[in-house]
Structure 1
Amino acid sequence: MSHVPSPVEGYEISTDSGRIDAERVHRWLSGDAYWAIGRTREKQDRAIAGSLNFGVYEIVSGEQVACARVITDRATFAWLCDVYVDPSVRGKGIGTALAEAVRDHLRAYGLRRVLLATHDAHGVYEKVGFTPLERPQEWMALSFE
């Protein structure tokens, strides 16, 4: 997938990292996303550079309205993160269309699992097949922050 029409009329979804509006994504995440408040631009640029990136763009203007990053080995595992939809276009189904595009793109890799963490968007991800961990007690995390 490089550029594909979105199921939401007037938008397209792309995995072309060159189209990512890095300044806009940094502003969205560092200023409004609870998981990334205060993230530096340098750190955000490194994150983009090391990830599979998805952007949603208005077809007419080319303006980016949403983003998502996937960290993956493209063989066994992926982590979906930094999913953000601009407040001005929320409620149009863009978040669900983006999650579907990510799911469909990753399916081709034959991954064992794709994980994500969310405080408030469970319904969006459930629509595209995500479920709670069956045995969360088996998972652990190492945090440096």
Structure 2
Amino acid sequence: MIAQDWTHPDDHEFTVSTRKDLLDLAAINDALDSDLVYWSTRLPEEVLRKMLDNSLSLGLYHTGPNGVRQQIGLARVVTDEVSFAYLTDFYCLKPFQGKGLGSWIMKILDDTFVTWPHLRRLMFITDPVHGKPFYEKHLHKCHELDLVSKGYCMMEKLYDGAPKIFR
């Protein structure tokens, strides 16, 4: 995907970018190692860089009055950019929550994905209490998978990199 930048339509202090050179590895690692991103853990910098380079990574940034840009969020999509996309590592730092920034990123993603004519599905895992209503609101026609009634099931195998919460 060609690098793109978006400026928030109502508050020009906030931007989203797919530019890899803007990603702040230290800030991302701090988030991955926090309770905010409970499903992940800190990674060695070279491993984190490889992970981000092999994904569609949307960095969320705040530029303060002093002109300093701070990474305040991320939405990472594992994709072949044709038929499949998996959203993971989506977060916005707590001081910036409640400003509609997560909703804005979902709109950017949805607007991007509808231009991929062969995209079959966007998949993600979320919690049923807070995440499910958020995604149902912002990703129209989003629904919980009911594969069993259709004769299918989704499976996983956990490896050493899986956080303890899932083991």
Report TM bin, short chain.
Answer: 0.7 to 0.9
Larger Rg: 2
CA deviations over 1:67-95 (Å, ceiling 9, x no partner): 11111011110000000101110111111
Q: Could you state the TM-score of these two structures normalised by the residue count of structure 1?
A: 0.88
Kept in 2, the 8 Å contact 1:4–1:12? The answer is: yes
Who is 1:16 aligned against? 19
Match of 1:139 in 2: 154
Q: Is the 8 A contact 1:29 1:84 kept in 2?
A: no
Greater CA drift, 18-27 or 128-137 = 128-137
1:36 correspondence with 2:40? yes
Aligned length: 145
Distance 1:108 1:63 in 2: 30
CA contact (8 A) 1:14 1:55 kept: yes
Tell me if the contact between 2:29 and 2:42 (Cα under 8 Å) persists in the aligned partners.
no
Q: Does 1:92 align with 2:99?
A: yes
In the alignment, what sits opposite 2:121?
113
Q: In 2, are the aligned partners of 1:71 and 1:78 still within 8 Å (CA)?
A: yes
Which ranges of structure 2 fall in alignment gaps of 5 or more residues? 161-167
CA distance in 1, matches of 2:97, 2:34: 17
> Residue 12 of structure 1 aligns to a residue in which SS?
strand
What's the % identity of the aligned pairs?
A: 26
* Alignment TM-score, normalising by the size of structure 2: 0.77
Matches within 5 A, 1:33-112: 33-60=37-64, 61-110=68-117, 111-112=119-120
In structure 1, runs of 5+ residues without a counterpart are none
CA distance in 2, matches of 1:31, 1:104: 30
* Cα distance in 2 for residues equivalent to 1:112 and 1:25: 29
